[in-house]
Amino acid sequence: MTVAELKQLPFAERLQLVEDLWDTIADEPSAISLSPEQRAELDSRLDALEAVPNGGTPWHLVRERILERL
C-alpha cells in the first residue's frame, strides 16, 4: 500500500495503523539506539524524578488543562 493510498483511509483506520505499527516498534526496544546526548537527557530526567517522586502533576489535571485549550 502506498502513502497516497494510506491517506485515503478514514482517520480512525489511519490512527489504528499508526498504533499497530508503533506496537511493533515498541516490541523491539533493543533496536532503538540512543545517542550519548539522548541517554544523558533521559538519565537527567530520571534523576530529577527520583529526587522528587511526587513533584509531577497528576494525569487527570494535565488532561483537563489540555482539553481546556482545545
Q: What is the structure's pLDDT at 31?
A: 85
Nearest-angstrom CA–CA distance, 70 and 61: 15
Q: Which residue has the cell 530529577?
A: 48
Residue 14 phi/psi, 5-degree rounding, is -65, -40
Mean pLDDT, rounded, for 23-31: 87
The CA angle 25-44-66, to the nearest 5 degrees, is: 65
Average pLDDT, the chain: 93
Residue 29 reports pLDDT greater than 90: no
Contact 25, 32 (CB under 8 A): yes
Model-level pTM? 0.47
